[in-house]
């Protein structure tokens, strides 16, 4: 089942070997409470082999406690990542810092993603523009309308709050891409950032040629869906 006019992404861009960035990890059980600039250092261990003896989960799996060991607080620019072929300019602009992309009755696991847009010194960037687009539950992109596409301008505190679903997997060549959310960030006087955010526990993370470990978001269970937190520094 596909969206009308939607397509599956098939591309052959070379792997990105982007500079490291630092991601934000919060305990997300309960209310989404976080502070701008609370970035922690990304872990250095390699992604697990897809041929590991214990098969990885079929879908992103939240941690039971909602927390892992944290490195000392540091700051750094978020790593860039491929744009992919289905970015469309002119997506609808939200009127508040909460961006809701889920159509009524849509299939898929509900997701809340919160974070801040900051500079490399962890200071909020008021008025920065965040653009989001991703595939639907079946792994298809809407290339005629703006389903699962939107923009939001953050306020003085730099915070954003995205309500959507966990995107589906889709085939690329002989494999599958892990679930991911496409992001563009624009702020006055700074180069724009294009990247992707990935989900901890996705079974296709290990074999993906485009993924960057620092862009993998820890997730936790929240009611009937999942929560994640990620600060974006440009």
Give 186-205 pLDDT, tens digit per residue: 999 899 999 999 999 999 99
Q: What total of structural domains would you count in the chain?
A: 1
Give the separation between CA 34 and CA 24, rounded to whole angstroms.
Answer: 9
170 within domain boundaries: yes
29 within domain boundaries: yes
pTM beyond 0.85: no
Which 8-state DSSP code applies to residue 93? Answer: B
7 within domain boundaries: no
Beta bridge mates, 227: 112, 220
**Mean pLDDT, residues 1-20:** 38
4 within domain boundaries: no
Look at residue 74 in the predicted model and tell me its pLDDT.
Answer: 52
**Mean pLDDT, residues 123-145:** 96
Which pLDDT band, with edges at 50, 70 and 90, does 222 fall under? confident
Q: pLDDT tens for residues 84-125?
A: 999 999 999 998 889 999 998 899 999 999 999 999 999 999
Contact 229, 115 (CB under 8 A): yes
Least confident of 3-17, 96-110, 145-159: 3-17
**Would the pLDDT of 6 be above 80?**
no
**Would the pLDDT of 7 be above 70?**
no
Q: How far is CA 219 from CA 39, 73, 172, in A?
A: 16, 20, 25
Contact 149, 128 (CB under 8 A): no
Range of the domain at 41: 19-78+99-234
Which has the higher per-residue pLDDT, 186 or 11? 186
Q: pLDDT tens for residues 26-85?
A: 333 333 334 464 443 343 344 544 444 333 344 565 555 444 333 334 568 999 999 999
Map residue 215 onto helix, strand or coil: helix
34 within domain boundaries: yes
CATH number at residue 116: 2.60.130.10
Contact 80, 20 (CB under 8 A): no
Q: What is the DSSP string of 161-209?
A: EEEEEPPPPEEETTEEEPPEEEEEEE-TTS--EEEEEEETT-TTSTT-S
Least confident of 19-28, 141-150, 224-233: 19-28
9 within domain boundaries: no
Look at residue 61 in the predicted model and tell me its pLDDT.
Answer: 59
**Mean pLDDT, residues 150-161:** 96
């Amino acid at each position: 089942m596909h969206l009308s006019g939607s397509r599956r992404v098939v591309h052959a861009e070379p792997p990105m070997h982007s500079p490291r960035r630092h991601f934000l990890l919060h305990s997300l059980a309960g209310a989404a409470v976080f502070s701008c600039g609370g970035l922690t250092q990304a872990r250095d261990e390699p992604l697990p082999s897809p041929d590991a003896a214990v098969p990885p989960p079929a879908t992103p799996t939240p941690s039971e406690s909602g927390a892992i060991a944290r490195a000392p607080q540091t700051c750094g620019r978020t790593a860039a990542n491929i744009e992919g072929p289905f970015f469309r300019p002119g997506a609808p602009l939200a009127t508040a810092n909460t961006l809701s992309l889920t159509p009524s009755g849509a299939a898929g696991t509900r997701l809340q993603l919160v974070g801040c847009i900051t500079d490399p010194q962890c200071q909020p960037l008021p008025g920065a523009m965040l653009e989001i687009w991703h595939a639907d539950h079946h792994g298809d992109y809407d290339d005629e309308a703006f389903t699962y596409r939107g923009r939001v301008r953050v306020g003085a505190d730099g915070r954003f709050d995205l309500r959507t679903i966990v995107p589906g997997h889709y085939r690329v060549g002989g494999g599958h891409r892990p679930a991911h959310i496409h992001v563009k960030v624009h702020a006055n006087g700074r180069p724009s950032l294009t990247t992707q955010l990935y989900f901890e526990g996705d079974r296709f993370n290990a074999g993906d040629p485009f993924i960057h470990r620092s862009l993998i978001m820890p997730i936790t269970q929240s009611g009937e869906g999942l929560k994640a937190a990620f600060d974006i520094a440009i």
